[in-house]
Each structure stands twice: as structure tokens, then as C-alpha cells.
Amino acid sequence: MVVSIGVVSVIVTLSAILTYFLAKILRVFHLISKFDGPPALPIVGNAHLFHQDAREFFKQQEEWMKKYESKGIMRLWLGPMPLLGVYKAQHMEVVMSSSRHIKKGYVYTFLHPWLGRGLLTSTGQKWFHRRKLLTPTFHFSILQNFMDVFNEQSFIMAKKMEKFADQSEPFNIFPQITYCVLDIICDTAMGKSINAQGEGDNEYVTAVISMTNLVQERMKKPWFWPDLLYDNIQSGKKHANNLRVLHDMTTKIIKQRLQEPPRALDGSEKDEVAGKRRRIAFLDLLLQMHREDPSFTLEDIREEVDTFMFEGHDTTAAAASWTILMIGRHPEVQTRLHEELDEVFGDSDRPITADDLQKLQYLNCVFKETLRLCPSVPMIGRDLEEDCVIDGKVVPKGTLVVLGIYALHRDPEQFPDPEKFDPDRFLLENSTKRHPYAYVPFSAGPRNCIGQKFAMMEDKVILANLMRKFSVEAIQTMEETNPLGELIMRPRDGIYVKLSRRK
């Protein structure tokens, strides 16, 4: 009798647990099914429809989003996981403006081995604390100290470009800009010169580029997700080797800097050997935080330096490269841009100042319009940790919401004739009435990009110093570059241009 009661108790308990989880699954299915999307199969969902080729997969996403454009919402199933793609300003605002929906999507966990739980990948109270701690390091007065680096490295790039000028054969400008940006980010993040523009086969530079590619490859291939499998295949072993190189470099520089006297953070300190002001890097600011608050550990510092390196090179290089493509495709835009540059600089080759950037309003419009058509981050994933309401319907907890920035920026209600490249869209009189969440190349709300001012200053200095010396002709359309909408939007086949010296 005792055994029977025990058996009954186990059965009742298991039945209650099963009923609870079944009810939970049915609720999610019932709520998500209210949104339109492609037909799904049991167990696999829509995964069988996905193209494995990166370019075809991106085109497939574009086709789906156009199909459901009127609502700006599309439902998919990734196996048993519900996914909701949103790409209308009013729907983006629901998620982006919330301080509750800040957890990044599952695929961001593949950045953890490299970046740890830093500002990009953390969530909850750790993220709020880290964001508050790091925000002062991106104050405008601090960013102005980096103008010397922006100018110095972009001058080097422009000088190297002279060998391509006035030749009949086009060349791929994308890697040239990438090396320039890597030199900038290493100098500003770590205070370390790596001379990527002089020696592209630098071990650290190679590891940064390779690691970025490997992470994006793994995100697209669910069979690479289990660590036990990934660690034992060729890609996983290459990943481990890159990780060693990246962490060894960052750790070494942090230890070296700790042994030096703290640097004056106002930039007033002189380098006795070089005879000029000693540069301040983000690392110096982070070490000062560590000295003031030991709970911000050296491991935390390494996470943030590595995060700066990841977020600060690929996105920025892509944005500058796409802008060159757009300028080279639109001669009338290039003419207006050259006129503005000549008005500000004449025939001077002096460095650009922060005040100059304020005067380059048309360059600002050109850059913003490029980021509309070619956002560096084409989509963002958020895992809902509680229900929310979008378009009058409940989106259940556990749903992966994909914020489709690429599609959002092509909403004809917000941007008439959306595929047309028109920098005048961003003149003050043309943009003030636009929905505040219609244009979000750096995300928006509490989880917006902390480094957006840094990135915009850097890219505009690179572009201005290049266009002061050269005219550019792009020989491809955007479609012909085969853009890939992965973690970063970049051209699969490079960006080929011809340069000519300005007279």
C-alpha cells in the first residue's frame, strides 16, 4: 500500500510537471501563431528553408521581409524556438526603448570565449553597472584626444593610396581601410602601435580578422554550436589558437601598463623621448577605474579592451568602405562633398580638428545616408525575459526578437523611394519629423552603442582626409559587391574602386 501511494505520488508529480510545460509550450505556440510567417514544420520549424550560402541567406531574408512589409512583423521558428522579426519604427521602439528587454540573443554567447561578459555580451545588473561605469570614458572631451590618432593613421592610408591613383586597374579598398581602422583602434584602445598598414600579416591583426570570421561562421551553423564538437574540428582549433594570441596580447599590455606610473588623464603629460604629449588610451582610463575600485578587476579590463577591439574595427571599417562605394557611385554627391571640403580646408593638408567636423555638414549627411542603406549591424537579437505587446498582440517570454535594422531603414513610409541614395534626407529640415526609431544604425534606447560618437568622428576623419586628396570611381553597384548581412554587414567580394589625384 505504501509503495502504491509512493508510485501514485510520483505519477501525479510527473503529470503536473508535464502539464505545466505542455501548457507553457501551447501558450507560446498559440500566441506566436497570431503573427504571419512562412509555413513551419514540426520539430525543425523553418530551419529547413534557410539557405546555407551567406549571400543567398541574406537575399532570402530580404524577400521574406518584403512579403510581410505592410505589417513590419514576421514570425519564424528556429526548431522549437519562436523568432519574431520586427522592422517598423513603432515596433522597434517597444523593444529598444525598454530597460527590461536588454538580453542579447543566444548567438552572442559565441563571443564569450573572446569578450567574456563585457559591455556587449552581458545583461541584467552587470550590464547596467558596467554601462554606468564606462559611459564617462566616451565623453566628448576625451574623444577629442583621439583626433591625433585619427589624423595620423588616415594620413598614412592616404599616402599608401597614392600608388593606386591614376592607374587603369581598379583595386579593393576594403582591406586598406580595415588595416587603417585596426591601427586606430589598437592605438586608442590599448596605446599600442601594431603597424597593420605597414605589415598586414601582423599576428595580432591576423587573429582579430580570423576570429571575427570564425565567430560569424559558427553563428550560422547550428551543428557548430556544441563546444564538445566545435573544439575538436579544424575551425574550433583555429579559434583556440586565435584566442590565445588575442588574450596573450591584451594581458601582456595590461601587465606592462600596470608596472608604469599612472598617466595623466588630461593629456598634459609629456613623453620625454618623443618630445610631445603622451597619448591617453581607453586602457589608461580603465586602469584608473581599477585603482579607484578594485572590484573592477584586471579580467574585467581585458573584457572591455577586447570588446573595443572587436566592436571598434569591423563595424567602422565597413561603414567607411560602404561610404566610399556610395560616393564613387554618385558623381553629383562627390562634387558637393569636394566643394565642402575645399571650403573648409582650401588646398591645406593640415590635420582635421573637432571644429572642422562640425562644419562638414554635407559629409555628415553622406555618412548617415550610407548607414541607412548599409547599417554596419544589419540586425540585433534580443531574448525576451518577459512578455511584451507588439502590434496589439502578446509576444511571449522566451521569444527571440530580431530587430531588422536593414529592413527598417527601407520603410517607404519613413524614407520615400528607399533604395535611392539621397544624403539630403538628413538635412535638418528633412529629418526632424521622422519617427525617432526609424533610423537606428547604432541601435537606440538604453542599449544603444556607447561608442557611436567615437565611430562617427573616426570615420569622418578617414573619409575627409581621403577625399581631400582623391576623386573616386566605384566600378560596382552595391548588389555586385554581394553584401552579407551577418553580425556585420560587409561585402563578400570586396569594394573595387579607381582613384585619381585631385588637381
210-225 tens-digit pLDDT: 888 888 788 777 788 8
Evaluate whether residue 17 is within a structural domain.
no
Per residue in 377-396, pLDDT tens? 999 999 999 999 999 999 99
- The C-alpha atoms of residue 400 and residue 383 are separated, in whole angstroms, by 5
Mean pLDDT along residues 54-67: 83
Per-residue pLDDT at 327 exceeds 80: yes
Q: Give domain status of residue 27, yes or no.
A: no
- On the question of pLDDT at 271 being above 70, the answer is no
**pLDDT at position 272 over 80:** no
Instruction: List residues forming the annotated binding site for heme.
Output: 449
Weakest mean pLDDT among 206-220, 233-247, 383-397, 476-490: 206-220
Grid cell, residue 495, equals 569594394
Q: Please indicate, yes or no, if residue 57 is contained in any of the structural domains.
A: no
What is the tally of structural domains in the chain?
1
- The amino acid sitting at 91 is H
373 CB neighbour count, 10 Å cutoff: 21
Q: Is 387 part of any domain? A: no
pLDDT of residue 274 exceeding 50: no
**At residue 2, does pLDDT exceed 60?**
no
CATH of the domain at 207: 1.10.630.10
CA dihedral defined by 389, 377, 407, 40, rounded to 10 degrees?
A: -60
Strands 400-404 and 81-86: parallel
- State which amino acid sits at residue 28: V
Q: Which of 414, 404, 446 is nearest to 91 (CA)?
A: 404
- All cell numbers assigned to 71: 505589417
pLDDT at 464 over 90: yes
Share of residues in the chain with pLDDT > 90 (%): 56
- pLDDT at residue number 493: 87
Distance, CA of 188 to CA of 279 (rounded, Å): 8
Nearest to 183 by CA among 175, 174, 173, 193: 193
Residue 262's pLDDT is 79
Tell me if 168 is assigned to some domain. yes
Cell of 360: 562638414
452 lies in which domain range? 109-372+423-501
Residue 50 lies in a domain: no
**Considering the domain boundaries, does residue 385 fall inside one?**
no
Cα–Cα dist 380/491, whole Å: 19
Residue 46 lies in a domain: no
Q: What is the pLDDT of residues 61-72, one digit of tens each?
A: 888 888 887 789
103 in Cβ contact with 385 (< 8 Å): yes
Instruction: Evaluate whether 329 touches 477 at the Cβ level (below 8 Å).
Output: yes
- Would you say residue 156 has pLDDT above 60? yes
Q: Which residues are annotated as a binding site?
A: 449
- Report in angstroms the alpha-carbon separations of 364 from 186, 359, 405, 419, 469: 25, 9, 20, 19, 18
The pLDDT value given to residue 273: 46
